Every structure is written in structure tokens, then in C-alpha cells.
């Protein structure tokens, strides 16, 4: 690989790091080609991607970028960068599940919300429900007081109708 090709790789890694919602470092030593392809396809289904490059090039990509440069301490052995473009929790769940099934894949660290996160935090992110479920829960929470008020007002009208009906029945008797 010549200098120009290395510069292109560094630029692409830097661009992916800055544009993705989250990034995760994984050690993939010992994974077969089939398992790597399976992991890549599962990540693609959740809006993620796996990039492999030399550790030296990854260090150059994060060099000088505030916050992200803390990841350079983790660039050892055979590490790969997983980028979550859409659904961070979905990508983290794929990684957590895949690392449980395949002991050769190990989560190292991540970069989310402008800070480096430990592997335990990645497991916490993986346990979050999908984005659609969280939005539905939020809508239900926001809607609860309004629907409670509507039920209360409806009961007041019904009580008034029952009272008027009883008065009408008393006047008939």
C-alpha cells in the first residue's frame, strides 16, 4: 500500500468516525472469513459497518481530533472499527450477541456522545429497546395526562346526564 492509498484510508476512517453516531472497537482475532461476513451482514441490516485497517492508520485517523483521540490507546492487536450510522442500540446489540456466540470477537471500547465508553457501557446500550419502542413509550407517557383529563371530563358529563335522568324519572312518578 503506497502513501496515497494510506492517506485515502485515513481520510475515510476519519470521515466515518466523525459522521457516525457511535463507533465501537472490536478485537476479531481468530474469526473465520464466514463469521466475519455474517457479522458484516448483520451489522449492515442494523445500519452499521465494520472497517478493518492497520492500527497505525487508525491512530493517524484519530490523531488531533478532540475526544476521539482517546481511542488511540486501544489500537493494538487486530482491531476493527464498527460504525453505527442509524440505530446505535441495534448495532451494539448485534455486537454483544455476536461476541457471546463467538468468543473470538471481543468488545474493547466505544465512542458515543462525544466520549469514550467502556465495554460495560456498550452492553448497557445493547440492552436498550429499539428506537421505535422507545418512541412509542415516550408517546404513551406524553399522552397519559391528556387522555386522563379527557376521561375525567367525559365522566363529569355522564354524571350530569345521570343526574338529569334521575330528576326526570322522579318528576314522572
Nearest to 68 by CA among 106, 109, 27, 96: 109
Average pLDDT estimate for 73-81:
83
Please tell me whether the overall predicted TM-score, pTM, comes out greater than 0.85 for this model. Answer: no
Q: pLDDT at position 125, please?
A: 86
Average pLDDT estimate for 31-37:
90
- Cα–Cα distance between 41 and 8 in angstroms, integer? 24
CB of 13 closer than 8 Å to CB of 58: yes
Q: Is the pLDDT of residue 41 over 90?
A: yes
Q: 3-class secondary structure for 45-80?
A: HCCEEEEECCHHHHHHHHCCCCCHHHHHHHCCCCEE
- Cα–Cα distance between 105 and 79 in angstroms, integer? 10
Q: Render pLDDT for 135-160 as a digit per residue (tens, 0 to 9).
A: 899 998 998 888 888 899 999 999 99
CB of 55 closer than 8 Å to CB of 140: no
Average pLDDT estimate for 87-95:
89
Question: What pLDDT band is residue 162 in, cutting at 50, 70 and 90?
Answer: very high
Q: pLDDT at position 166, please?
A: 92
Mapped onto helix, strand or coil, the DSSP state of residue 9 is helix
Amino acid at each position: 500500500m503506497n502513501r496515497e492509498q494510506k492517506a485515502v484510508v485515513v481520510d475515510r476512517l476519519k470521515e466515518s468516525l466523525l459522521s457516525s453516531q457511535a463507533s465501537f472497537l472490536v478485537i476479531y482475532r481468530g474469526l473465520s472469513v464466514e463469521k466475519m461476513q455474517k457479522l458484516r451482514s448483520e451489522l449492515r441490516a442494523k445500519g452499521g459497518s465494520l472497517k478493518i485497517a492497520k492500527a497505525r492508520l487508525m491512530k493517524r485517523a484519530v490523531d488531533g481530533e478532540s475526544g476521539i483521540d482517546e481511542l488511540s490507546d486501544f489500537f493494538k492487536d487486530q482491531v476493527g472499527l464498527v460504525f453505527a450510522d442509524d440505530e446505535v442500540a441495534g448495532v451494539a446489540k448485534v455486537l454483544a450477541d455476536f461476541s457471546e456466540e463467538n468468543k473470538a470477537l471481543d468488545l474493547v471500547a466505544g465512542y458515543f456522545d462525544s466520549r469514550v465508553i467502556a465495554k460495560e457501557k456498550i452492553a448497557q446500550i445493547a440492552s436498550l429497546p429499539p428506537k421505535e419502542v422507545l418512541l412509542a413509550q415516550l408517546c404513551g407517557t406524553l399522552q397519559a395526562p391528556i387522555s386522563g383529563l379527557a376521561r375525567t371530563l367525559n365522566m363529569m358529563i355522564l354524571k350530569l346526564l345521570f343526574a338529569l335522568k334521575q330528576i326526570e324519572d322522579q318528576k314522572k312518578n
